[in-house]
Amino acid sequence: MKPVGERGEGWFTSLYAAHYPDIVRYGMRRLPDAEAAAELAQDVFVVVWRRRGEVPERALPWLYAVARHVVANRWRSRRDGPNLLPLAEADHVPARIVGPDAVVPMLDLHRALRTLPEVDQEILRLVGWEDLRVSDAAVVMGCTRSAAAVRLYRARRRLRSALATPTPARGARPASAHV
C-alpha cells in the first residue's frame, strides 16, 4: 500500500487504462447487458479512487473483489437478483474446447454452470474466464488459497457431473469431459 499522495491522477489513469476492460468483461459475464457492465466498471473505479491508498501493487484481484461486492450489493438491493447469464436467446453460442479431448457447446456449459451453487460458479468464472490463479481467486473471494483450491476442485467435479446429466435440449455428455 502506498500513501494516497503518491497515487494521483497519473497512477489512477494508468490503472484505469490497464484494467477497465478486465472489469467490463467481468461484468459482461455476470450482468444482463453491456450498459450494466460499464456501470459496474465505473462504480469499481470510484471505489478505487476513494480507497487508492489500499489498492495493492497487484491490483487486478483486488479490483475483481470490489466488483464482486458491487454486484452482490446490487443483487441484495434488487431482491429479485440480477440476470447473471443472459442466455435466453443464445442458441448461436459457438462450441469451445474446455479440455484436450472434449468439446462442449458453450450453451451447455452455461446451463450446467447455472445449476451449481453461486460459490462454485464464482470460482469457476474467476479461474476459467477471468484467467486468475487460484491464489488471486482467493483474494477476490476473501478466503485462503487452500480454501479456494478445494472450492475449485469441488466445483469442477460438480460441473463435470452437471455436464453429464441429460437435459431436454441435449443428450448425456461423457463424464470424462475435462473442465
pLDDT recorded at residue 169: 55
pTM: 0.67
Q: Is the pLDDT of residue 121 over 60?
A: yes
pLDDT recorded at residue 21: 97
pLDDT recorded at residue 111: 87
CA-based torsion, 115, 30, 104, 101: positive or negative: negative
Around 112, how many Cα atoms within 13 Å sit in the side-chain half-sphere?
27
Q: Determine the residue type at 97.
A: I
DSSP string, 36-51: HHHHHHHHHHHHHHHT
Phi and psi angles of residue 111, each rounded to the nearest 5 degrees, phi first? -65, -45
For the chain, domains (ranges, CATH) are 4-78 (1.10.1740), 95-164 (1.10.10.10)
What percentage of the chain reaches a pLDDT higher than 90?
Answer: 58
Question: Could you tell me which residues are beta bridge partners of residue 97?
Answer: 103
Average pLDDT of the chain, as a whole number? 81
pLDDT recorded at residue 168: 59
Mean pLDDT of 39-58: 95
pLDDT recorded at residue 100: 45
Asked whether 106 and 179 are in contact (CB, 8 A), the reply is no
Higher-pLDDT residue of 73, 15: 15
SS3 state of residue 173? coil
